[in-house]
Structure 1
Amino acid sequence: MKPLQCFLCLLLPALAGCVPVPSPGVEGDPLRGKIALTQYACQSCHMIPAVPGSKVYVGRPLSDLSKRKVLAGTLENNQANLVRWIRDPQAINPHSAMPNMGVSERDAIDMSAYLLML
């Protein structure tokens, strides 16, 4: 690909508003987070906007996560708590059906950035 074509491939989606931008105060890379959600197979249990997968009803849909007041029934909905929940759900609720998937800190931050911008 020629340098000008590469530049246009990067620039045009940004101009069209296709590149997700995290909310103010939210850290991480939402595009990377979307990929990480797929890599950890989160769509196996959750319906996640723009993440392909079956229509499943094991876990709650994640389309409105940013609008919820609490996470896991007890935690204030903020990025730090979402990262904690993604990384070790049993530490917050030992009876949770959500498994500990061994998500890294960086992946959890990026995943939370994607989920909180929905």
Structure 2
Amino acid sequence: MQRTRRIGMLLGMMAILPLAGCGEENLPLVSTNQAISPTSTDMAHARQLIAEYGCVACHTVPGVKGPATMVGPPLEKLALRGYIGGVLPNTADNLVRWLLDPPAIDPKTAMPDMGLSNEDARDIAAYLLGLD
């Protein structure tokens, strides 16, 4: 019985999968984040910014100490994700846009505008996209 159910679920997923990209032409499925390549000094500065802005209050961020939290998604391997916030194709520029003002991109997001400067957003984006 379970095997039949699993096969049915698999077939259903296979039928739906081709429709997953409908209406979203030219959107990358994987990240193209070569635009930002941080140095080790930048990485240390970005970790400091992440701590100062309180990102770890909602997200677990590798390399940055903070509470065990489950408010927002963990941010490891962010560069491998297809989308940022579930709405933007994952590129370095889009991550900077998201960090600068998430509610402007998705009014229903729980992530607030943290008041980041352009430079701070770029540094944090470089760090997040450089995580393994």
TM-score (norm: length of structure 2): 0.69
Name which of 41, 44, 50 aligns with 2:63. 50
2: CA distance, partners of 1:82 / 1:25: 11
- Give the match for residue 36 of structure 2: 26
* TM superposition outliers: structure 1 runs of 4+ over 4 Å: none
Q: Is the Cα–Cα contact under 8 Å of residues 27 and 110 in structure 1 kept in the other structure?
A: no
Once the two structures are superposed, residues 51-105 of structure 1 have per-residue CA deviations (whole angstroms, 9 ceiling, x without a partner) of 0001100000001211101111121101110011011000110011001110110
Q: Is the Cα–Cα contact under 8 Å of residues 37 and 130 in structure 2 kept in the other structure?
A: no
SS in 2 for 1:96: coil
Question: What code does the residue aligned with 2:105 have?
Answer: I
Is 1:99 the counterpart of 2:109? The answer is no
SS in 2 for 1:106: helix
Structure 2: stretches of 5+ with no match in the other structure? 1-32
2: CA distance, partners of 1:50 / 1:64: 12
Structure 1: stretches of 5+ with no match in the other structure? 1-22
| Aligned pairs for 1:1-118 within 5 A | 24-27=34-37, 29-118=42-131
> What is the Cα-based RMSD across aligned positions, in Å?
1.4
In our comparison, the structure showing a higher alpha carbon Rg is: 2
Aligned length: 96
2: CA distance, partners of 1:60 / 1:24: 23
SS in 2 for 1:46: coil
Q: Is the Cα–Cα contact under 8 Å of residues 71 and 77 in structure 1 kept in the other structure?
A: yes
Once the two structures are superposed, residues 17-71 of structure 1 have per-residue CA deviations (whole angstroms, 9 ceiling, x without a partner) of xxxxxx7431553322111111100000000001000110000000121110111
Question: What code does the residue aligned with 2:81 have?
Answer: R
Which structure exhibits the higher relative contact order, with contacts defined as CA atoms closer than 8 Å and separated by 6 or more residues?
A: 1
